[in-house]
């Protein structure tokens, strides 16, 4: 997905397809095919609803029948009990679906992965039995003899097809709009790496809740319309597992994560199923399901990510794009100030981050115990210590991924306790990860844009900030490459750029030099020094001591989760306990030589 390219073309494509489909609707006289022409956009809309939540954010829902069924019963019961026309009933059904989205999403988003998927499965099935128990086994919508059009009842079936098409176009346009905004980008980032998205300042909970509300709204509306088309509602037909499965199947078959996927899936699968049912259904009961099942199996074996993505990959392969250029010479190498100047320049720096008495245990393991230190504005603080000393856990406590058992963290005088990572990022603390967490399917530029959202409300500005950050780390040439295709060094730079794009006051760098060659390390050191010279305070975890003594102004040494020593590199590297625990005799022998 690229935001800048092709801003208009998909909307033109929607207009063309809608016009062609409308023409087909007007031409078809056969009632049977008219029903098919109605059902294709109905299930495409349901697939689009599923896709907005599950396709973009990656949270697989087996429970979209909840929204669909609530919508269907809302329209039906309003018509029967209050005589309310579906013209009003369907918008109300949409609201009911949206409210159900909040009610279901709020508790369920605490779950992840399979738990989320299975919990979603339980909602419609519980509702199914409740509606049976309430006595709504089979509810028919009464025919309105007088003024049927006012009750959305038409003698001409083509009107239903046109209405279904209109609803699908609305859902499709909404999806395309989402894909091109920070809404869609944030959901994609969540799907690819939720922790990285949080650390980059994305409020993951809020975006997921928005997605399920919109998704429920669309599913509620189309469920209500479905009741109007079929005129009979049963709990099994609207809350049943097949309803949820149908939404998921059309979307996955066509290609999840793209607005076109559900439309393609529905356009192929619904006619296939209906034709099989119509032609062979009475002679060979079940043949429809068998062929349908086999079709799904075959497609998924040959195109596991769906037809849209497979086709796109094939087309892309034909116009083979050039591989991303090798990294240009780091622009910063020549302008690094010497260390002594920098130290003198910022001795007056005030305290930026104050950590006191911080502790965290996992079961019996005391990962971080009673850690206190301060970070002064503009300095480079190195955090060193043996493996398992609690360095990364400390970072996770500082940026809100973990909450401490006891202790305080104050940044610029404000307490950071209890803040989610995205709020910590908003306060101005950026973060990179020891095991790099890029969003592999996004381009390098889009990866960095996700980090820039926190700094600006306007998407255009976010792109400008992202470009500036890429320029700063020297990745401009690789901006269009996907993050999965670039080198280790470029991934490290990408993470750095993503953190920088949020305009942080302080950066937490977790083993940024890991896996780099000697020359690459030099370039990275130059870059970090330059960032510090520009006024960004740096806290860095690193194992490469030789690099660290040249980079850091001060060290904090951790061992077994506690602070072992703190001070200037010269002092700390001569400290007996530090040598004993971490540096080893070899280091001291060489240092004293």
Partner 1 sequence: MTPSLILLENFLQALVAGVLLGALYGLMCTGLGIIFGVMRVINFAQGDLMMLGMYFAWYAFAGFGTLAVLGPYAGPIVAAILAGPALFIFGYLLHRLLIARVTGLRVAGLEGEGHYAQLILTLGIALVLQNGGLLLLGSEVTSIKTPLSASAWEIGPFVGQDVSFFINKARGVAFVVSLLVAFSLYLFVTRTRLGKSLRAAADHPEAAIYMGIDVDRAHRIAFAIGTGITAIAGGLVASYLPFQPYVGLDFVIVMYAGVVLGGLGSIVGAYWGGMTIGLVQQLSTLILPTQLQNTAIFVVFLLIVFLRPQGLYGRNVQRA
Give phi and psi for 385, each to the nearest 5. 155, 160
Stretch that binds partner 1, among 37-45, 290-298, 331-339, 560-568 (CB under 8 A): 290-298
What is the helix (H) or strand (E) element at residue 350, kind and residue range?
Answer: none
Closest CB to partner 1 among residues 33, 50: 50
Q: Does 382 bind partner 1 (CB under 8 A)?
A: no
- Cβ within 8 Å of residue 220, ≥6 positions away: 67, 68, 70, 71, 74, 93, 94, 95, 96, 97, 98, 100
Stretch that binds partner 1, among 80-88, 155-163, 190-198, 215-223 (CB under 8 A): 190-198
Closest CB to partner 1 among residues 305, 566: 305
Q: Which of 42, 52, 92, 256 binds partner 1 (CB under 8 A)?
A: 256
Stretch that binds partner 1, among 24-32, 140-148, 241-249, 576-584 (CB under 8 A): 241-249
Q: Does 241 bind partner 1 (CB under 8 A)?
A: yes
Q: Kindly write out the interface string for residues 45-84 of this chain, putting x where it contacts partner 1 by CB under 8 A and - elsewhere.
A: -------------x-x------------------------
Question: Residue 354 CB, nearest distance to partner 1 (Å)?
Answer: 26
Closest CB to partner 1 among residues 172, 188: 188
Per-residue burial over 10-38, b if 16 or more Cβ lie within 10 Å, else e, is beeebeebbeebbeebeebeeeebbbbbb
- Cβ within 8 Å of residue 249, ≥6 positions away: 265, 269, 296
Instruction: Give the chain's end-to-end CA distance (angstroms, integer).
Output: 57
Residue positions counted in the chain: 593
Q: Does 305 bind partner 1 (CB under 8 A)?
A: yes
Residue 372, number of CB atoms within 10 A of its CB: 14
Q: Which of 1, 18, 35, 117 binds partner 1 (CB under 8 A)?
A: 117
Stretch that binds partner 1, among 218-226, 243-251, 485-493, 497-505 (CB under 8 A): 243-251
Question: Residue 58 CB, nearest distance to partner 1 (Å)?
Answer: 6
101: left (phi over 0), alpha (psi -120 to 50) or beta: alpha
Give phi and psi for 369, each to the nearest 5. -130, 120
Tell me the DSSP string of 434-453: SS----TTSBHHHHHHHHHG
Question: Residue 342 CB, nearest distance to partner 1 (Å)?
Answer: 36
229: left (phi over 0), alpha (psi -120 to 50) or beta: alpha
Q: Which of 12, 24, 110, 458 binds partner 1 (CB under 8 A)?
A: 110
Q: Does 164 bind partner 1 (CB under 8 A)?
A: no
Q: Pairing between strand 429-431 and 506-510?
A: parallel
Question: Residue 351 CB, nearest distance to partner 1 (Å)?
Answer: 30
Q: Does 229 bind partner 1 (CB under 8 A)?
A: no
Give the angle 351-343-506 at the CA atoms, nearest 5°.
45
Tokens of 59: 């949270």
- Cβ within 8 Å of residue 37, ≥6 positions away: 21, 24, 25, 28, 161, 164
Tokens of 270: 């619904």
- Cβ within 8 Å of residue 581, ≥6 positions away: 385, 386, 557, 559, 564
Strand partners, 406: 359
Closest CB to partner 1 among residues 79, 256: 256
Q: Which of 248, 448, 548, 558 binds partner 1 (CB under 8 A)?
A: 248
# chain residues binding partner 1, by CB under 8 A: 52
Q: Does 191 bind partner 1 (CB under 8 A)?
A: yes
Question: Residue 265 CB, nearest distance to partner 1 (Å)?
Answer: 10
Q: Kindly write out the interface string for residues 13-52 of this chain, putting x where it contacts partner 1 by CB under 8 A and - elsewhere.
A: ----------------------------------------
Question: Residue 291 CB, nearest distance to partner 1 (Å)?
Answer: 9
Q: Does 420 bind partner 1 (CB under 8 A)?
A: no
Q: Does 365 bind partner 1 (CB under 8 A)?
A: no
Q: Restricting to residues 121-160, name those near partner 1 by CB under 8 A.
A: 121-123, 125-126, 129-130, 132-133
412: left (phi over 0), alpha (psi -120 to 50) or beta: left
Instruction: Tell me which DSSP letter residue 66 carries.
Output: H
Rounded to whole angstroms, how far apart are CA atoms 96 and 92?
6
Q: Does 562 bind partner 1 (CB under 8 A)?
A: no
Site residues (vs partner 1, CB under 8 A): 58, 60, 107, 110-115, 117-119, 121-123, 125-126, 129-130, 132-133, 191-192, 195, 241, 245, 248-249, 252-253, 256-257, 284-290, 292-297, 300-301, 304-306, 401, 441
């Amino acid at each position: 997905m690229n935001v800048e390219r092709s801003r208009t073309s998909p909307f033109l494509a929607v207009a063309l397809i809608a016009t062609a489909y409308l023409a087909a609707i007007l031409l078809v006289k056969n009632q049977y095919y008219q029903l098919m022409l109605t059902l294709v956009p109905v299930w495409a809309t349901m697939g689009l609803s599923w896709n907005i939540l599950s396709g973009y954010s990656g949270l697989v829902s087996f429970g979209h029948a909840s929204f669909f069924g609530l919508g269907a019963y809302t329209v039906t019961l309003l018509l029967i009990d209050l005589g309310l026309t579906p013209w009003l009933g369907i918008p109300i059904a949409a609201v009911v679906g949206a409210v159900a989205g909040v009610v279901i999403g709020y508790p369920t988003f605490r779950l992840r992965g399979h738990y989320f998927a299975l919990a979603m499965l339980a909602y419609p099935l519980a509702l199914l039995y409740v509606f049976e128990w309430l006595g709504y086994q089979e509810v028919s919508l009464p025919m309105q003899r007088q003024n049927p059009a006012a009750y959305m009842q038409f003698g001409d079936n083509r009107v239903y097809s046109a209405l279904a098409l209109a609803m699908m176009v609305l859902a499709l346009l909404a999806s395309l709009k989402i894909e091109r905004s920070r809404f869609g980008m944030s959901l994609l980032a969540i799907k690819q790496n939720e922790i990285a998205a949080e650390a980059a300042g994305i409020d993951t909970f809020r975006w997921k809740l928005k997605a399920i509300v919109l998704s429920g709204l669309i599913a509620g509306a189309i469920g209500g319309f479905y009741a109007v088309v079929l005129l009979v509602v049963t709990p099994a037909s609207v809350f049943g597992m097949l309803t949820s499965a149908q939404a998921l199947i059309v979307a996955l078959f066509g290609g999840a994560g793209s607005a076109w996927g559900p439309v393609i899936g529905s356009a192929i699968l619904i006619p296939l199923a209906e034709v099989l049912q119509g032609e062979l259904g009475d002679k060979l009961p079940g043949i429809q399901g068998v062929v349908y099942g086999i079709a799904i199996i075959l497609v998924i074996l040959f195109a596991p990510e769906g037809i849209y993505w497979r086709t796109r990959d094939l087309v892309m392969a034909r116009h083979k794009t050039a591989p991303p250029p090798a990294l240009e010479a780091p622009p910063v190498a020549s302008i690094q100030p010497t260390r002594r100047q920098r130290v003198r320049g910022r001795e007056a720096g005030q305290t930026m981050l104050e950590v006191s008495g911080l502790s965290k245990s996992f079961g019996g393991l005391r990962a971080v115990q009673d850690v206190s230190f301060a970070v002064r504005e503009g300095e480079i603080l190195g955090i060193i210590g043996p493996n398992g000393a609690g360095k990364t856990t400390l970072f996770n406590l500082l940026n809100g991924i973990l909450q401490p058992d006891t202790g305080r963290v104050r940044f610029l005088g404000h307490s950071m306790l209890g803040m989610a990572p995205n709020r910590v990022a908003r306060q101005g603390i950026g973060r990179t990860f020891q095991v790099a967490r890029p969003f592999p399917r996004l381009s390098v530029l889009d990866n960095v844009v996700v980090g820039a959202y926190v700094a600006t409300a306007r998407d255009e500005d976010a792109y400008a900030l992202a470009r500036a950050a890429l320029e700063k780390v020297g990745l401009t040439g690789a901006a269009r490459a996907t993050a999965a295709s670039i080198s280790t060094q470029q991934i490290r730079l990408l993470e750095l750029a993503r953190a920088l794009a949020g305009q942080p006051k302080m950066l937490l760098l977790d083993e940024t030099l890991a896996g780099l060659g000697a020359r690459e390390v030099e370039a990275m050191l130059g870059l970090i020094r330059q960032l510090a010279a520009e006024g960004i305070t740096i806290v860095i975890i690193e194992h490469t001591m030789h690099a660290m003594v040249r980079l850091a102004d001060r060290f904090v040494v951790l061992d077994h989760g506690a602070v072992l020593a703190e001070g200037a590199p010269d002092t700390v590297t001569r400290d007996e306990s530090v040598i004993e625990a971490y540096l080893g005799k070899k280091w001291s022998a060489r240092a004293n030589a």
